[in-house]
Chains A and B, each alone.
Chain A
Amino acid sequence: MSEDTASTATILVVDDTPTNLEVLFDFLSNAGFKVLFAEDGESAIEKAHYADPDLILLDILMPGMDGFETCRRLKASQLTAAIPVIFLTALTDTPDKVKGFALGAVDFITKPLQYEEVLARVKTHLRLQSLAQQLQDQNARLEREVQERKQTEAALQQQNQRSQLLAGVSLKIRQSLQINDILQTSVTEVKALLQADRVLIYRLWSDGTGSGVAEAVQPGLPEVMGVVFPQEVFPPGSREQYRQGRIRRLANVNQDEQVADCLVDFLRQFWVQAKLVVPIITQGDLWGLLIAHQCSAPRHWTTAESELLQQLANQMAIALTQAQLLEQEVLQRRELARSNDELQQFAYVASHDLQEPLRMVTSYLQLLERRYKGQLDADADDFIHFAVDGALRMRTLINDLLTYSRVGTQGRAFELTNSTQAVDRAIANLKVAIDESGATITYGELPQVQADPTQLTQLFQNLIGNGIKFRSAASPRVVIEASQKEDVWLFSVQDNGIGIDPQYADQIFVIFQRLNNRITYPGTGIGLAVCKKIVERHGGKIWVQSKPNQGSTFYFTIPAGGTS
C-alpha cells in the first residue's frame, strides 16, 4: 500500500474513555487517516457495518459488551470479518492475548499508548491488509479466468466432438457408393448421433406419394419401412416449403396445431411424440426427407441438433448425386461394352459364317469355268468370269472384315515389345513388295513399348506397305521414327508417295473407304481401319499429315507407361 492510500484509509477507534478517543483521533487525523470512533461495542459493530473501515482499534475493557465479544461478533459477520482488529489493552497477561488472537485479532497495543508505536502498527497492518486484499482479488481474478477458460474449453470440446462426429458420419456416407449403402449408413449413424428412437429416410416420388427407403429404429417400435404414404399426408404446399429448405422441429406432436389431423394419425400409428425433419435436396429437387423421431417422450430439439441434421442431409445429397452419376456412368459403360462386344461378335460370326456359302459359290463357279469354258458362247464365258471375279472380291472383303474384327476379339495380352523387332518383322513380311519397288526403309532408335507384338508388326506392316503401294514416280522411301512426348511414345511413318488431300484425312481410317481406283491401287480399304483399331486397342491415337504429291506422314501414339 502506498503512502497515499494509507493516508486515506479509514480507522475506527473504539474506546469508552473519551480522553483516549480524543487523543487518538487527533493523532491519527494528523497522520492523514480518516478517523471514526465509537464508545461501546454495539455502536462499534454498527459503524463497522455501514462505514466499512480499513482497520479497527478496539479497547478490551469496556462496560457492557467488552472488546472480545465485540471482536467475536465482528468476525462472525461476513461484512466485517475481513477488517483487521488491533486490541488496545492495559493488560499484559498472556492468556488474554492468546484469547484475542484466537478471536481473530491481528495485534495488540499496550496502554499507555506510545503514539509512534500505534502509527507503526496501524501502518503495518493496513499494508498487510491491503496486500491480503490484493492477493485475494488476484486469486479471485485467476479463479475467474480459470473458470472462463474451462468453459471455453468445454464448448470447444463439444464443438470438436460434434464436428468429428459429423466428419466421421459424412465420410462413411460418402464412402458408400451404392445408393442403398448411403441410405442405410446415414440412418444408422444419425440415430446414434442424435440418440433418436427412429431415423427415417422418406423418399418422395413424382406422383406425390412417398415411402420410407431406409430406417434405423429402436427395437420394439413399429417400422415405417414398406408403408406407402398417400399424397394427403404430404400436400404439395408442404413439399414446396421443404424444397426451399424448411426445417421442421416438433417438440410435441400432440400439442402442435399446425400438424394436420391425418398426419397426427399417421404419427400416432408409429408412436411418434416429437420429430425433427430436414429436406434432402439433390440438384435443386426435393429428393426426400431426413426424419428423426422421438417416441419415448416429447423432445425439445436444439438448434445445434437441427443444424447437425441439416448438414448430414446435405452430405447425403452430395453422396446421392455422386452415386446417381456413378450408376448412370456404369450403366452406360456396361451398355457400350455390351454393344461393342455384340458388334465384334457379329462381325466375326458374319464374316466367318459367310465364308462357307461363299466358298461354295466360288468353287462351283470355278468348276463351271474349268469344265465348260469355250463350250458355251462368249457371253457365257464373260458372265462366268464376272461372277468368279465378284465372288473372289467378296472373299477378300470377308477376309478383311475377319481380320478387322480379330483385332478386338483375338488380340493377345500386352507385353514389353521391342518396336525395332516389330519393324524388322514387318519389313521381312513386305520383302517381295520392297524388292519389286526398290523401296528403301530406314528407321532410327525405336523404344520398347507395352504392346501385342503381332499387332504392332501388323501396324508397321500396313503403314510401310501403304507407303510403298501409294508411291509416286520416285522410288519409295519410308522413314520411321519415335520420340517420347510426356507420357506417350509418338511414332511417325513418313513416305514420299502420292499423298492425301487433307479433307480426306479422317475418312481414310474408316473401314472399306477407298480414295483411289482399284485398278492402279488394288485393295479393299481395310489397312488403315485395322491400324486405327490396333492403335486404339493400345490406348493411343493415329492421324495423318499430308498434302497431295508431297508424301504422307502417319503419326500414332502408344502410352509410355511401364516401358523402359
Chain B
Amino acid sequence: MVKPILESLNPIEILLVEDNPGDIRLTQEVLNEGQIYNHLNVVEDGEKAIAFLTRTAPYSQAPNPQLVLLDLNLPRRSGLDVLKTIKTNETLKHIPVIVFTSSHAEEDIMSAYSLHANCYITKPIDLERFTKSIKSIEDFWLSMVELPSE
C-alpha cells in the first residue's frame, strides 16, 4: 500500500453502498493498492446510504462524499431508489454516482442511465479485471476529472 505523499491533504471521501462483505473488502484492498489518498465510507443498505448522504442520525457527522460507488441489489431500498434520491436532490445531484454491480440486465443499465447515473460498471468476475476497473475509476474519477469540492 502506497502512503499518500502529503498527509496534510484531505483524503477524497468515497461512499461505497454495498451489502456483500466480500466485495467491500475487495474494494478496500484494491483501493489501498492504488495511489490515491482516499477515505472509503461504507454503508450496507439503501436506507443507510440516504441517511449518510443527508446527514441524518446516526450519520449527522458524516462527510460529504465526492464519489458514490453504488451496488444495485441492496436490502431495504434498492440502488436505483438511492440513485433517484441523489439525482433529484438539489444539494446531492452534483455528486458523481458510479453504479458498480453484478447485474448485466439490459433494463438495469437503461434505468440507471435514465436516472442520470454517471457510469455503469459490471463487477468483473476475476480479480485481474476487478483491479483494472477500480484502477480505471481511480484514474478517471479521482485523478483526471475535477470534482466539485465539498
Is the CB of A180 closer than 8 A to any CB of chain B? no
The reply to whether A366 and B22 form a contact with Cβ atoms under 8 Å apart is: no
Smallest CB–CB gap between B86 and chain A, Å?
25
Closest to A357 in B: B22
**Is B29 an interface residue, CB under 8 A from the partner?**
yes
Q: Which residues from B are CB-within-8-Å of A366?
A: 126-128
Q: Decide: A363 near B130, CB < 8 A? Known: A355-B102, A356-B102, A395-B125.
A: yes
Q: Main SS of the interface on chain A?
A: helix
Is A355 a contact partner of B128 (Cβ separation < 8 A)?
no
**Chain A proximity mask over B1-36: 1 for CB below 8 Å, otherwise 0:** 000000000000000000010110010010000000
Cα distance, A436 to B22, chains bound together (Å): 40
Per-residue CB contact flags for chain B residues 101-133 toward chain A (1 = under 8 Å, else 0) read 010000000000000000000010111101000
A371 closest partner in B (C-beta): B29
**Beyond A355-B125, A362-B126, 15 extra complex contacts between A and B, CB < 8 Å:** A356-B20, A356-B102, A358-B125, A359-B125, A360-B20, A360-B22, A360-B23, A362-B125, A363-B26, A363-B126, A364-B26, A364-B127, A366-B126, A367-B26, A395-B126
The smallest C-beta distance from A120 to any residue of chain B, in angstroms, reads 121
Question: How near does chain A come to B106, taking the closest CB pair, in angstroms?
Answer: 8
Residue of A nearest to B126 (CB): A362
Q: Chain B contacts of A395 at CB under 8 A?
A: 125-126
Q: In the complex, how many angstroms separate the beta carbon of A94 from the nearest chain B beta carbon?
A: 123
Q: B20: shortest Cβ distance to chain A, in Å?
A: 7
Distance A360 CA – B27 CA, assembled complex (angstroms): 12
Q: Encode contact with B along A333-373: 1 for CB under 8 Å, 0 otherwise.
A: 00000000000000000000001101110111011001000
| Residue A247 CB within 8 A of the other chain | no
Closest residue on chain B to residue A370 by CB atoms:
B127
Bound-state CA distance A358–B29 (Å) is: 18
In the assembled complex, A392 has its CB within 8 A of some CB on chain B: yes
In angstroms, how far is the closest chain B Cβ from the Cβ of A209? 56
A392 to B124, CA, bound (A): 12
Q: Are B123 and A359 in contact (CB under 8 A)?
A: yes
**Chain A residue, CB-CB nearest to B128:** A366
- B135, chain A: closest CB distance, angstroms: 14
What are the residues of chain A within 8 A of B130 when measuring CB–CB? 363
CB proximity to B under 8 Å, residues A434-492: none
A362-B127 contact in complex given A355-B102, A356-B102, C-beta closer than 8 Å = yes
Give 1 or 0 for each of A532-563: 1 = CB within 8 Å of chain B CB. Answer: 00000000000000000000000000000000
Residues of the B chain whose Cβ atoms lie less than 8 Å from the Cβ of A392:
126
Complex interface residues of chain A between 252 and 289 (CB less than 8 A to chain B) = none
A-B contact pairs, 28 of them (CB 8 A): A355-B102, A355-B125, A356-B20, A356-B102, A358-B125, A359-B102, A359-B125, A360-B20, A360-B22, A362-B125, A362-B127, A363-B22, A363-B125, A363-B127, A363-B130, A364-B22, A364-B26, A364-B127, A366-B126, A366-B127, A366-B128, A367-B26, A367-B29, A367-B127, A370-B127, A392-B126, A395-B125, A395-B126
Closest CB in chain B relative to A316 CB, distance in Å: 52
A370 to B102, CA, bound (A): 23
A355→B102 CA distance, assembly (Å): 8
Interface residues of B in 55-83 (CB under 8 A from A): none
User: What 0/1 readout, one digit per residue, does chain B (79-109) give for beta carbons within 8 Å of chain A?
Assistant: 0000000000000000000000010000000
Bound Cα distance A356, B130 (Å): 13
Q: B125 to chain A: which residues have CB within 8 Å?
A: 355, 358-359, 362-363, 395
Q: Which residue of B lies closest to A396 (CB)?
A: B125
Closest to A353 in B: B102
Q: Among A355, A363, A367, A370, which residue has the most Cβ atoms of chain B within 10 A? A: A363
Closest to A367 in B: B127
For window 387-446 of A, CB contacts with B under 8 Å fall at: 392, 395
Give chain B nearest CB distance to A117 CB in angstroms.
125
Give the residues in chain B near A370, CB-CB below 8 Å: 127
Contact residues in A for B29 (Cβ distance below 8 Å): 367
A366 → B minimal CB distance (Å): 4
Question: What's the minimum C-beta distance from A429 to chain B, rounded to whole angstroms?
Answer: 18
* Complex Cα spacing A358 to B123, Å: 12
CA of A364 to CA of B27 in the docked complex: distance in angstroms? 12
Contacts of B127 in A (CB 8 A): 362-364, 366-367, 370
A402 to chain B, nearest CB (A): 9
Q: Write the nearest CB–CB distance from B84 to chain A, whole angstroms.
A: 24
- Cβ-closest chain A residue relative to B25: A364
A362 to B131, CA, bound (A): 13
Q: How far is B26's CA from A32's CA once the two chains are assembled, in angstroms? A: 146
Minimum distance in angstroms from B88 CB to a CB of chain A: 30
The smallest beta-carbon distance between A398 and chain B, in angstroms, is 9
List residues of chain B with CB within 8 A of the CB of A363: 22, 26, 125-127, 130
Q: How far is the CA of A395 from the CA of B127 in the complex (A)?
A: 13
* In the complex, chain B residues whose CB is within 8 Å of the CB of A355: 102, 125
Complex Cα gap A366–B29 (Å): 13
| Chain A hits for B23, CB < 8 A | 360
Residues of A within 8 A of B128 (CB): 366
A392 to B127, CA, bound (A): 11
Contacts of A362 in B (CB 8 A): 125-127
Nearest Cβ on chain B to A495's Cβ, whole angstroms: 32
A483 to B26, CA, bound (A): 55
Bound-complex Cα distance A208 to B127 (A) = 73
B16 to chain A, nearest CB (A): 16
**B26 contacts across to A, CB distance below 8 A:** 363-364, 367
Give complex CA distance A370, B130 in Å.
Answer: 13
**Measured between alpha carbons, how far is A364 from B29 in the docked complex, in Å?**
11
Q: Give chain B residues whose Cβ lies under 8 Å from the Cβ of A364.
A: 22, 26, 127
CA distance A360 to B23 in the complex (A): 8
B2 to chain A, nearest CB (A): 15
Most buried by B among A358, A359, A362, A395: A359
Residues of A within 8 A of B20 (CB): 356, 360
- Chain B residues near A360 (CB-CB < 8 A): 20, 22-23
